[in-house]
Amino acid sequence: MLRFLPSRWALLAAVFVLAVGGSVQAQTRLGIPAPQADAPLAQQHGKVTAVFAGGCFWGIQSVFERVKGVVATTAGYAGGSSATATYDQVTTETTGHAESVKVVYDPSKITYGKLLQIFFSVAHDPTQLNRQGPDVGSSYRSVLFYTSEEQRKLGTAYIAQLDAAHVFPKRIVTEVTPLKGFYDAESYHQDYALHNPDNPYILVCDRPKIDALKKEFPELFQDYKGR
């Protein structure tokens, strides 16, 4: 199993081989309905923070940094303590952390509900328990780390809506839990897909997510040039 390789760097060659064989596919599901419950666009500009986890943070960040209305994104760790918030420790699968992305957005330009729709459709597969594609372990679990009661309600309601409509072939396993701390990942992880476009892992696992975002949400897609 790929999870026993020592790091994602060692995964690259294996992922590429699997992809050629057709075993690794983009974790996207186009055409899912928008949330029935959502907050309206704010009347004034502002900044709101939301944190999403759904597999490798490279792919999650590469999606959200290309969404209009998103002000900033940061790859990092959430769910564990500050003492264990390093890549080497998180990959041991003993810290409680999930690879996560902090999304700062302008609520006058995009709603949390629309971010949820993007997250559940093109950013990852919410029915995979403790894994995404070739990445296996609790650090790759699907989580909504909410920063307000409104986010908790909207996230819970949307999961119930999608499950009731049988949008996915299996039930959604995404956790909805309060954000107790977010810890920035190492600098080399930030904007990783942007800076390493020819990396086999990015080509197989993450580039299809960007393409799906552009196809499914063309009115929200924006080019991203980096920091």
Instruction: From 172, 198, 155, select the one nearest 35 (Cα to Cα).
Output: 155
Dist CA 126 CA 109 (whole Å): 25
Bridge pairing between strands 98-105 and 70-78: antiparallel
Instruction: Determine whether 205 is an active site residue.
Output: no
d(C-alpha 85, C-alpha 99), whole Å: 10
Helix (H, G, I), strand (E, B) or coil at 135: strand
Token pair belonging to 8? 């994602």
Q: Is 213 left (phi over 0), alpha (psi -120 to 50) or beta?
A: alpha
Q: What is the largest CA-CA distance in the chain?
A: 50
Q: Are 71 and 106 in contact (CB under 8 A)?
A: yes
Q: In 10 A of CB 226, how many CB atoms?
A: 8
Catalytic residue (one of 11, 15, 56, 179): 56
Phi, psi at residue 132, to the nearest 5°? -145, 115
* φ/ψ of residue 211, rounded to 5: -65, -40
- The residues that are catalytic are 56
